[in-house]
Chains A and B, each alone.
Chain A
Amino acid sequence: EPEVTQTPSHQVTQMGQEVILRCVPISNHLYFYWYRQILGQKVEFLVSFYNNEISEKSEIFDDQFSVERPDGSNFTLKIRSTKLEDSAMYFCASSSDRGETQYFGPGTRLLVL
């Protein structure tokens, strides 16, 4: 069964460093998303991406964040200068169409020290 994959599973970084989180969405899906979940809190939407551009983003997704689809399979989230409060689980998701089921990857646990 097709699934969303994410790498790395864990990332530890120093405050102020750049991190890139990688995702491979389900192959025939056209819509891609990033969510985050701070420990003990709800899952929060960050950004959605369609047709090689951002379609929606939340207030969390400020200038420190960027997304890219560098090739036909990968979808990345870059955090330019990490802060302590960026420590969270980051989930990538994909869907075949707008409003359809979003399938989540296993997540990347990011710890900023």
Chain B
Amino acid sequence: QKEVEQNSGPLSVPEGAIASLNCTYSDRVSQSFFWYRQYSGKSPELIMSIYSNGDKEDGRFTAQLNKASQYVSLLIRDSQPSDSATYLCAVSPGGYNKLIFGAGTRLAVHP
């Protein structure tokens, strides 16, 4: 069974701080990795995609991928109250064209 694991949180950070979200996956040959943000009652909204080992930065967001450790993370710099949401890690396992989602980490940014 291919799994994606995330700490459910809540992760509480003060406004302006760095939020660090982590995800591990079980399928060693996974090739595509995504972070989505989901507000309560809404659909997943893409934050970042990452396909290669290393860091990928987009504005306040940085995704980090380590395939050897089967680990992907998301850093949010200068966190804002509007970043308060559930962050979903999604992995596309090798050989499959589907996403396997983690349960999500709930982030709360307090003023």
Q: Which residues of A contact B (CB under 8 A)?
A: 31, 33, 35, 41-45, 48, 50, 55-56, 58, 89, 91, 98-107
> With a CB–CB cut-off of 8 A, which chain A residues contact B31?
99
Chain B residues bordering chain A, tally (CB within 8 A) = 22
One of A89, A102, A105, A106 near B99 (C-beta < 8 A)? A102
> With a CB–CB cut-off of 8 A, which chain B residues contact A102?
34, 99
Residues B99 and A107 in contact, CB atoms below 8 Å apart: no
Q: Which residues of B contact A (CB under 8 A)?
A: 31-32, 34, 36, 42-46, 49, 88, 90, 92, 96-104
- Nearest 9 A-B pairs (CB), nearest first? A43-B101, A104-B43, A45-B98, A42-B103, A99-B32, A98-B97, A107-B43, A104-B44, A42-B101
Q: How far is the CA of A50 from the CA of B32 in the complex (A)?
A: 19
Query: Which secondary structure dominates chain A's binding surface?
Result: strand
**With A43-B88, A99-B92 given, is the CB distance from A105 to B43 under 8 Å?**
yes
**With A99-B92, A101-B49 given, is the CB distance from A43 to B44 under 8 Å?**
yes
One of B32, B46, B98, B102 near A42 (C-beta < 8 A)? B102
> With a CB–CB cut-off of 8 A, which chain A residues contact B34?
101-102
Residues B102 and A103 in contact, CB atoms below 8 Å apart: no
> With a CB–CB cut-off of 8 A, which chain A residues contact B101?
42-44
Q: How far is the CA of A45 from the CA of B100 in the complex (A)?
A: 7
> With a CB–CB cut-off of 8 A, which chain A residues contact B98?
33, 45, 48, 56, 58
Chain A residue at smallest Cβ distance from B102: A42
Residues B46 and A45 in contact, CB atoms below 8 Å apart: no
